[in-house]
Amino acid sequence: MGNFMSEFKEFIERGNAMDMAVGVIIGGAFGAIVNSLVDDLISPIIGMATGGIDFSKLAVTVGSANLTYGNFIMAVINFLIIALVVFTMVRTINKLRKPAEEPAPAPTCPHCLEEIKEGATKCPHCGSAIK
């Protein structure tokens, strides 16, 4: 049990759990924004384009079950909007990131072409003087 607790403590302290928790909280808030966008802006526009159809009201009754397939359509629209926004954000962030600069190559001896330490005055491999 002690090993389990120490592993759990290490997991929590690594920051991954905290990053994930922040992501879930922000994701929940983002979901509310997207739902509002779909419900308050996109659905009315789609409704106007389709002659006033309210997708959330679309349903069919099979026996005693009421299948509200309109809610499913709205969930698909929500998903597509979230996917588009996340894709756009990731794409933008990737473009803004500067490519990692490659470190300068290590100096080499002009005589034997072996790698030497920066500022060396004598090559440790061939013994030549370095200018």
**Any bridge partners for residue 61, and if so which?**
66
76-112 residue pLDDT tens: 887 888 788 778 888 888 888 877 667 778 888 888 8
CATH class of 2-96: mainly alpha
Distance CA 38, CA 127 (A): 74
How would residue 65 be classed by pLDDT, with cut points 50, 70 and 90? very high
**According to the model, what pLDDT value does residue 100 have?**
65
**Phi and psi torsions of 60, nearest 5°:** -140, 140
Q: What is the pTM of this model?
A: 0.49
What ranges do the domains of the chain cover?
2-96, 103-131
Closest CA to 28 of 72, 67, 82: 82
Name the one residue in this structure whose structure tokens are 């997708």: 55
Residue 82 tokens read as 């979230």
7-23 residue pLDDT tens: 888 777 776 777 788 88
Decide if 107 contacts 121 (C-beta within 8 A): no
Listed in sequence order, the residues at least 6 apart from 54 whose beta carbon sits closer than 8 Å to its beta carbon are: 43, 47, 70
